[in-house]
């Protein structure tokens, strides 16, 4: 999978994409991440990429020409997505969508944003990582790179690890524990040491349900609360979810 990133701070993204999982994916030839410096096509000696906004106002705006010129020079894979607070909200479903493509590209804004002619005529869409304003698109690009990169087949060593984690089925993941079984008087739940894999799977499912209902009412509501049989599953471990009685007959 090829992912191109267009930025005026290539060193930020390059460093990030060279470490850990992404770095390994690149070295293994699974991820082809190409970081392009928008300044390298700037025509003037100062390599300017920004200018004052027409109509006045604070700050600077990324100029359209270096962005058009970079896209023409490197022909980045489409869709080309601009990062911006007004875009489609990035989430795990979108990460899966992007991981299923052959590649895509990310354009990082800076300052007050990007000349609107780029949005209207060059990019295919805009993506936001949340309702807050960053100083630039680089961190957002790195979020997307990592969330998508780890879903590319082979990048994560264990193919199963992406399947039962948070959001994969509209639920949060169950709690995880590792050695030692007892630490500072705090014990690991007995069921995890039982070797009974059916019971462990049921316990994990029950924990996912309780955790999602308690911590993420939005996800819980979207899922429609408890499904048939799940009340019994919770009862096996003496658990219940808030408001379970509000769904009589389930
Ligand atoms: N003046 C703009 C904000 C510009 S922030 C406004 O009010 O909408 C500068 C750059 O940071 C943006 O061009 C964008 O690339 C990036 N950015 C800021 N917040 C972001 C967010 N929530 N998600 C993705 N990118 C963001």
pLDDT tens digits, one per residue of 113-140? 999 999 999 999 999 999 999 999 999 9
Does the pLDDT of residue 67 top 90, yes or no? yes
Does the pLDDT of residue 159 top 70, yes or no? no
Q: Tell me where in the chain the CATH 3.40.1280.10 domain(s) lie.
A: 2-149
Give mean pLDDT, residues 168-178. 95
> How far, in Å, CA of 147 to CA of 143, rounded?
6
Looking from the CA of residue 108, the nearest atom of ligand 1 is 15
Within a 10 A sphere around the Cβ of 120, how many other Cβ atoms? 9
Alpha helices in the chain (DSSP H): 10-18, 20-27, 64-74, 92-99, 116-121, 138-149, 197-215, 217-223, 230-236
Does the pLDDT of residue 42 top 90, yes or no? no
pTM attached to this predicted model: 0.93
Mutate to test the pocket of ligand 1, among 7, 55, 82, 85 (most ligand atoms within 8 A of CB): 85
* Closest C-alpha to 48, from 61, 39, 58, 56: 39
Does the pLDDT of residue 248 top 50, yes or no? no
Handedness of CA 10, 155, 208, 237 (dihedral sign): negative
Does the pLDDT of residue 43 top 80, yes or no? no
Nearest C-alpha to atom 25 of ligand 1 is from which residue? 84
| pLDDT band of 160, cuts 50, 70, 90 | low
pLDDT tens digits, one per residue of 179-225? 999 999 999 999 999 999 999 999 999 999 999 999 999 999 999 99
* Residue 23: partners with Cβ closer than 8 Å, 6 or more residues away: 17
Looking from the CA of residue 107, the nearest atom of ligand 1 is 15
- For residue 7, the CA-to-ligand 1 centroid distance in Å is 13
Mutate to test the pocket of ligand 1, among 112, 133, 142 (most ligand atoms within 8 A of CB): 133
Asked if the 166-250 domain carries CATH number 1.10.3720.10, the reply is no
Does the pLDDT of residue 232 top 90, yes or no? yes
Asked if the 2-149 domain carries CATH number 3.40.1280.10, the reply is yes
Does the pLDDT of residue 36 top 70, yes or no? yes
Give mean pLDDT, residues 60-73. 98
List residues near ligand 1 (CB under 6 A): 83-86, 108-110, 112-114, 128-130, 132-134, 136-137, 140
- For residue 201, the CA-to-ligand 1 centroid distance in Å is 42
In angstroms, the Cα distances linking 20 to 5, 24, 26, 200 are 18, 6, 10, 31
How would DSSP label each residue in 201-231? HHHHHHHHHHHHHHH-HHHHHHHTSPPTTHH
Give mean pLDDT, residues 42-51. 89
Mutate to test the pocket of ligand 1, among 90, 109, 127, 129 (most ligand atoms within 8 A of CB): 109
Averaged pLDDT of the chain: 94
């Amino acid at each position: 999978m090829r992912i191109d990133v267009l930025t005026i701070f290539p060193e930020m993204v390059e460093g990030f994409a060279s470490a850990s999982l992404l770095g390994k994916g690149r070295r293994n030839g699974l991820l082809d991440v190409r970081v392009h410096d928008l300044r390298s096509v700037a025509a003037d000696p100062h390599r300017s990429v920004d200018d004052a906004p027409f109509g006045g106002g604070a700050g600077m705006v990324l100029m359209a020409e270096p962005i058009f010129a970079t896209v023409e020079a490197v022909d980045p894979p489409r869709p080309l997505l601009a990062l911006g607070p007004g875009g489609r909200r990035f989430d795990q479903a979108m990460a899966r969508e992007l991981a299923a493509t052959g590649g895509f590209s990310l354009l990082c804004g800076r300052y007050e944003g990007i000349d609107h002619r780029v949005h209207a005529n060059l990019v295919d869409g805009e993506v936001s990582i949340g309702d807050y304003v960053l100083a630039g698109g680089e961190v957002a690009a790195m979020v997307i790179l990592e969330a998508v990169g780890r879903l590319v087949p082979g990048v994560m060593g264990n193919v199963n690890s992406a399947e039962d984690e948070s959001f994969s089925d509209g639920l949060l993941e169950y709690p995880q524990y590792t050695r030692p079984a007892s630490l500072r008087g705090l014990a690991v739940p007995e069921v995890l040491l039982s070797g009974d894999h059916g019971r462990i799977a049921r316990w994990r499912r029950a924990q996912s349900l309780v955790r999602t209902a308690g911590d993420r009412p939005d996800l819980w509501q979207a899922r429609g609360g408890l499904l048939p049989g799940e009340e019994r599953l919770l009862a096996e471990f003496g658990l219940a979810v808030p408001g379970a009685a509000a769904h009589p007959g389930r």
